[in-house]
């Protein structure tokens, strides 16, 4: 949450302080980590000096490759734990401002329009704590996914937000398929919500 709160296109979703968002996200996290665990893969970067998680990435494999990249799969838990996690998830306040509920409609349309014809790995989420920007953490996480795509012979496909993020992805070999700029005035905020649809084809060796 801290990774994105300084971005106008992200914090336009909220009418509550960062601490409250983090509290709700923490309550929802265990259930989110277990969601679709057969195909979702999770990675984190930890600052060894502090033990703090400073980077995180979530990837989604095609169902045909659910037996791959198992070292990034979250371990399963008991049904009792799942029920406890689900109760905390449902109790958390995760409501966004009603005005922004349509903010991703055009982005989603673009994403489906350009989706690869065959199976692909989706980069679903990537964030780096702002205190650790410009240390190569995001690039390291992306590179790990690129390596998996190459090993499995799969495209990597994603939607990126913000020019800095796009620059990082293109350095890793991603290609731009489409982009969209939306004036945030329509959602009561200043600035532009800029998104890009990117793909990375596997390297043939």
- Summarize the confidence of residues 128-153 as an average pLDDT: 93
Parallel, antiparallel or unpaired: strands 53-60 and 155-161: unpaired
Higher pLDDT residue, 11 or 3? 11
**Model pTM?**
0.93
Strand partners, 182: 193
pLDDT of residue 133: 84
Looking at the domain that runs over 2-200, which CATH code has it been given?
3.40.630.30
pLDDT of residue 10: 87
pLDDT of residue 115: 97
pLDDT of 52 above 70: yes
pLDDT of residue 167: 94
Strand partners, 58: 42, 125
Domain ranges of the chain: 2-200
The DSSP secondary-structure symbol of 136 reads: S
Place 132 in a pLDDT band, splitting at 50, 70 and 90.
Answer: confident
């Amino acid at each position: 949450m801290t990774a994105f709160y300084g971005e106008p296109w992200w914090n336009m979703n909220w009418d509550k302080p960062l601490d409250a968002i983090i509290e709700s996200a923490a309550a929802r996290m265990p259930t989110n980590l277990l969601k679709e665990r057969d195909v979702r893969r999770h990675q984190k970067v930890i600052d060894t000096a502090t033990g703090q998680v400073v980077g995180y990435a979530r990837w989604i494999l095609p169902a045909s490759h659910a037996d791959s990249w198992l070292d990034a799969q979250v371990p399963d838990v008991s049904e009792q734990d799942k029920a406890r996690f689900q109760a905390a998830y449902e109790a958390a306040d995760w409501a966004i401002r009603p005005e922004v509920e349509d903010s991703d409609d055009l982005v989603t349309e673009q994403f489906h329009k350009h989706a690869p014809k065959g199976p692909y790995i989706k980069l679903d989420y990537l964030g780096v704590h702002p205190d650790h920007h410009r240390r190569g953490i995001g690039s390291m996480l992306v590179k790990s996914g690129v390596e998996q795509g190459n090993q499995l012979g799969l495209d990597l496909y994603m939607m990126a937000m913000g020019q800095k993020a796009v620059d990082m992805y293109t350095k890793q070999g991603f290609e731009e398929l489409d982009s969209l700029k939306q004036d945030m005035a329509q959602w009561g905020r200043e600035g532009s919500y800029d998104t890009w649809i990117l793909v990375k084809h596997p390297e043939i060796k």
